[in-house]
Structure formats: structure tokens, C-alpha cells
Amino acid sequence: MKYLITIVGPTAIGKTALSIQLTQHFDCEIISSDSRQFFKEMTIGTAVPSSEELESAPHHFIQNKSIFEPYTVGDFEKEALQTLEELFKNNDFAIMVGGSGLYVDAVLKGFDAFPSIPQKIREEVANIYEKEGISALQKILEENDPEYVAFLSKTNPQTLQNPQRLMRFSEVCLATQQPYSSFLNQKENKRTFVPILIGLEADRTVIYDRINRRVDLMMEAGLLEEAKKLFPHKSLNALQTVGYRELFDYFDHKISLDFAVDEIKKNTRRFSKRQLTWFKRNENTTWFDFQTPFLTIANHIHSLTENNN
């Protein structure tokens, strides 16, 4: 029996530290499912594990792509499963850690098959968003897939405010001339491993305080300079993310630097709330307070595997 221990939870809760402890305990390797940490040009603003953390445990999918490479959740699903297949040849365990719910679900449950998107369409959608804003992307989806808009409005309204997701919806609609939702739930995906889901949580005030302190540390570490280097490429999909968008607005003279930093904190707090909402949907996740002793969590995992064997 092969087990994929999956650690989820809001940003800044301590997932990386726990994943390293578990990796050392089970003598296995880590797959990152954090969609922002894939990109080698984005280090500080994505809270990439430190060099010491990376050296203390084998990691995969950390800064392995460029922001200039098209990379979708479907690409990640395929590559992650291939990597897991190799890892499971030598070990019964692997660790997956990350706060990107869509990417976690892609590995655990499978992702729907979507057609490849021509680069021309990607650039067209990026230009629409840059020039006309999120409302233009919402209009594209409304015109091409009104039923899906109605569904999201009831079940997951924050998705309709997410530029990156809306850009993806728009790309599929414009490239195929078909509703985005027509590509959903078309196949049954089988997995050769048993997922063990571990969630980390804390009181909201604790999470928010940890987020605020992390943003301050990012700024001290040089986030402003990192964002400035990326500013000429601000329309790229990979850069439509918290921590960069706000500083791009500062460089565009739309807001002050202090306000931009406050916005990063606010938007990251909102993001953490959405993360918890997403991960709490899975009833198979066992939740622990972020200060729970490591051995308590490790023993819980051992008890689950013993029951399966």
C-alpha cells in the first residue's frame, strides 16, 4: 500500500515545517502543491522554503518553472503523478504540502481534461485583463457560460473575483468557442495511492497575526526589489497574485507603498479564509492545532496505515 500524506491549511500556518519533520520521520520526499512556488523568478513573495529547509528534505516542484512558461493545473497533475510513481518505487510514503486547493485536488482526485490554449489567446486574455480589468473577464464568462456563472455565484462566489481563475475560464471559452463547464466531470480518475489528509488550523486572530508578521519579514527581505524586477512582466498569469499585484499598483503610482503593504496583508488574510473554506469541504481531513506536537500527528498517521494493512 502506498500513502500520500497531504498537509493542507491556510498560508503562514506552519505547513512547511511539519512537512519536513514528517519527511524525516518517514524517510521520504516532498512534493509541493503551492502553485506560486513553482516559479524560479518569485522567491520572497511566495515564501519559498529557505535553503536550510530545502537541504533538510528532498523537495520537488519548488522553483522548477519560469513565469514565461505556460503551466496549468493539468500540467502539474500529470507531472506530479509521474513523480509520485517514481517515488513510490522506493518508499511506501510521500508527502504533499501546499495551500493551493485546486492543485491539491488535481493530484488527489484528478483534474478534468482541457484543450491546450494557443499562446495568442493567452496574450489576448492577459491584455484584456490589463486594459479593462476583472469585469471584462467576468463578462466573457457570462456570455460564454452563463450556467457556470450561476453555479459559482451560489457555491463559490469568490472564484468570480479571482483574476487568475477568470483568465483561465476566458482562455478556454475563447479558444474552443465552448462553455468552460462543458469540459468538467468528463472522466473518472483512478489513483494508485491512499491519501492521508492532515490539516493545520488556528484561531483566526493567530492566523492573521502570523500573516501580518510574514509580510513584514518579506518586505525586510527585499520583496519590493523582487517585485520591481518583475514589474515589466506584470501581465503574465503567474504574477496575478497577492504580494505582487499590490506592489505593481505602487509602481504604477496608483497607491502609496504603505497602503500597498497594508493591502498585501489584507488580501493575504482574505486568501487564507478562502483556503480554509476550500479545505474544510473535504470530510476526510483530520485537523490539528498548528501547535500540536509533531509526534501526535505522526502517531495518527501510523494508526491509519496500520488499519489499512
List binding-site positions for substrate. 11-16
**What grid cell was written down for 305?**
496505515
| Residues with Cβ within 8 Å of residue 207, at least 6 apart in sequence | 10, 12, 13, 269, 272
Distances (CA, A) of 146 to 149, 174, 222: 5, 14, 43
| Bind-site residues for ATP | 9-16
Q: Residues marked as binding? A: 9-16
